[in-house]
Amino acid sequence: MLFGASTFIWVSPFSTENVDLLTKVKNMGYDIIEIAVEDTKLIDWTFIKEVARDLALKITISGAFGPERDISSTNPAYRKLGKEYIIDCIKIAEDVESPIFGGPLYSAVGKTRLVSNEQKMQERDWCVETLVEVGRIAADSGVVLGLEPLNRFETDMVNTVDQALSIVREVGSPSLKIVLDTFHANIEEKDIPASVRKIGKELLCHVQGNESDRGTPGTGHLEWEGIRDALVEIGYNGAVVIETFGQPSKELAKAACIWRPLANSADELASEGLAFYKQLFARN
């Protein structure tokens, strides 16, 4: 199992100026840094790739989906911008050798409304149409798109593994799979280990192993041993990454409802979280 830490733990948005995070993450003992791409123009990807290569640190790429990057929006300009952003991130992932580009690809974070079934179906159709298109580009680039269910307070579109599986199966692309974030799953799934087994090895492309309160893994009430056992049972051999928010921007804080510190410090959360991961998976 490979372990990773998201740049969101320390900074938002990540830029080239934050390159020292790569050394910090490597020195902590992580295998991966997960770079959250809030603004592609803030990052010199050639430089970041060189630094990561010198450190023997792997990179994975995750997305940040605001209102103007919503492929299910009623505004066609936003749907277009959302598709362009996904395509840009696929190309970035290919360049830095990230096997995945993951996140709530289907909609803007913080988009929660009660709308008619007709509107829901129309938004879903727009989403599927775009995912079919970008799925072809991802396949050509050797990148897997990871569709991440979010909890009901952050989206009204894909909350559960069943909803994610429905879209993945309708799109029918071998390059569209599922990211499981245990924080969201703790709210929406009745049994997280059963949900892991339901997704299965073929469709589970990435795990964000976050605690029940988004704090340090191992300090909350998640059924970590059961989650570990399910991952081992299905033969999952990808990454387990901590994604939480130490210094969220105003926009991110509002979208993810982060109003208080989640640990004494970002460094403490990351180092203690990794120690917990290693202890948990070493028991196998």
Looking at residue 107, what is its pLDDT?
A: 97
Distance between the two ends of the chain, CA-based, in angstroms? 11
pLDDT tens digit string along 136-165? 999 999 999 999 999 999 999 999 999 999
Looking at residue 284, what is its pLDDT?
A: 52
Q: Which residues are known catalytic residues? A: 148, 243
**H or E element that contains 223:** none
pLDDT tens digit string along 89-110? 999 999 999 999 999 999 999 9
- Structural contact between residues 32 and 2, judged by C-beta atoms closer than 8 angstroms: yes
Range of the domain at 217: 2-282
- Residue 204 pLDDT level (bands cut at 50, 70, 90): very high
Looking at residues 243-269, what average pLDDT do you find? 81
If one counts every other C-beta atom within 10 angstroms of the C-beta of residue 154, the result is: 21
Specify the residue for token string 């929006």: 73
Supply the mean pLDDT for the chain: 95
Half-sphere exposure of 283 (CA within 13 A, CB side): 10
Q: Count of domains in the chain?
A: 1
Q: What percent of the chain has pLDDT over 90?
A: 92
Looking at residue 283, what is its pLDDT?
A: 57
* 0.85 exceeded by pTM: yes
- CATH number at 147 reads 3.20.20.150
Looking at residue 261, what is its pLDDT?
A: 79
- Structural contact between residues 14 and 61, judged by C-beta atoms closer than 8 angstroms: no
